[in-house]
């Protein structure tokens, strides 16, 4: 599709270029469509657009602390549901010992992000070691189990009735952000062959249409002698991601897209140098992402646009209201002191509105909506 030159309308005081050289004393707010890809306007306000004094109603920014979730069962299907819609399900599961059964998701592809721990994944395609910070992409209806070498915490992102694909890198080319050559796949090796001969019955817990079906075999069904093709489990570590950067312009989250599925995208924020231009914004700009719900899982580091958010926490900003940096983070960014970011986070942008699951007392911080108030 041709992108013809168009000149934006202008009214009152404004900057010549978005996110740069704002009018003195102003706060920029982007109103955009299609998740930073569609038409947009930029407002310049006297006051921070998130400077509300009170909020009533359920459509509000929320923060969840997954560290306060109760103990979980021995199967991924015991994972605690957090947020969901008809295209997407976000859950969290902890595994402390080797699984004695297999699981298979008949409802969609699974993206597992290893927040903590390490171990080995055994699946239809072979054996795949994994470590902290890995993404594991598991195609729909693949049978799998894990054997932890250290207790594992997984963020589980289901593409319900969908599949994961690589994000379009546009003019940057297919090798930008990460070269597909860094992707790893399971191997049919000696360890895999050895586990295939384990005697006795094996159960496969198949999740389909949201219900569990138990299939029992008198042998281990992970007994492949080999395979060929272009469909398999994939592994990518955040350390292999080399983000797009601009020293003079703050790039939107869409520049950090990693995986795409029907009606949502997964982005990865990794350490990078800060913008160096004196007039460029150095934290995410205030914006209305009115077509997408935004979810961020904080893996490690100090997230540069947030206050009092720790590793293992999740924030959810439903579409329909302005959000952006916390006051303290904004003030720090304007001092031009930091040279680089150090956070790692997984962001999920959902085109369809998400629903919050019923969670145990204490998991949600009800005061998060007030965290943008000036002290």
374 vs 230: CA distance, rounded Å: 53
Q: Distance between CA 284 and CA 326 in Å, rounded? A: 10
Kindly state the tokens that stand for 118: 């390490």
- Is 323 part of any known ligand binding site? yes
Q: How many beta carbons lie within 10 A of that of residue 278, not counting itself?
A: 10
CA angle (261, 32, 45) in 5-degree steps = 145
Instruction: Give strand pairing partners of 118.
Output: 150
Residue 287 annotated as part of some ligand binding site: yes
CB atoms within 10 A of CB 241: 20
What is the DSSP pairing of strand 313-317 with strand 62-65?
antiparallel
Vertex 130 angle, CA 294 and 230, to 5°: 80
Distance (Å, whole) CA 127 – CA 222: 10
Active-site residue set: 250
- Residues in a beta bridge with 259: 166, 266
Binding-site entries for homogentisate: 323
Binding-site entries: 287, 293, 323
């Amino acid at each position: 599709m041709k992108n013809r030159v168009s000149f934006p309308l202008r009214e009152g005081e404004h900057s010549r270029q978005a996110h740069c050289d704002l009018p003195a004393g102003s706060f920029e707010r982007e109103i955009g469509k299609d998740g930073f890809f569609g038409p947009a306007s930029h407002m310049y306000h006297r006051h921070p657009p998130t400077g509300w004094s009170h909020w009533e109603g359920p459509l509000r920014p929320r923060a969840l602390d997954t560290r306060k979730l109760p103990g979980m069962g021995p199967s991924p299907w015991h994972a605690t549901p957090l947020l969901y819609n008809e295209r997407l399900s976000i859950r969290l599961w902890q595994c402390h010992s080797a699984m004695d059964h297999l699981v298979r998701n008949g409802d969609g592809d699974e993206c597992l992000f290893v927040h903590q721990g390490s171990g080995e994944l055994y699946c239809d395609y072979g054996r795949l070691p994994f470590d902290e910070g890995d993404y594991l992409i598991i195609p729909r209806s693949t049978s799998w189990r894990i054997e932890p070498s250290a207790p594992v915490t997984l963020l589980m992102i289901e593409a319900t009735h969908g599949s994961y694909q690589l994000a379009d890198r546009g003019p940057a080319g297919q090798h930008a952000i990460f070269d597909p050559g860094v992707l790893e796949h399971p191997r049919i090796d000696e360890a895999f062959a050895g586990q295939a001969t384990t005697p006795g019955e094996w159960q496969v817990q198949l999740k389909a249409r949201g219900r569990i079906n138990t299939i029992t075999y008198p042998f281990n069904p992970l007994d492949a002698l080999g395979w060929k093709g272009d469909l398999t489990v994939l592994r990518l570590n955040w350390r292999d991601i080399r983000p797009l950067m601009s020293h003079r312009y703050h790039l939107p989250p869409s520049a950090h897209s990693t995986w795409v599925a029907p009606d949502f995208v997964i982005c990865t924020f990794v350490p990078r140098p800060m913008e160096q231009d004196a007039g460029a914004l150095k934290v995410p700009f205030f914006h209305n992402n009115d077509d997408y719900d935004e979810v961020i899982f904080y893996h490690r580091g100090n997230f540069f646009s947030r206050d009092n958010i720790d590793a293992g926490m999740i924030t959810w900003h439903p579409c329909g209201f302005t959000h952006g940096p916390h006051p303290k983070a904004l003030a720090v960014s304007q001092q031009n002191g930091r040279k680089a970011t150090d956070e790692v986070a997984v962001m999920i942008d959902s085109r369809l509105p998400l629903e919050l699951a019923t969670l145990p007392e204490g998991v949600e911080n009800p005061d998060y909506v007030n965290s943008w108030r000036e002290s």
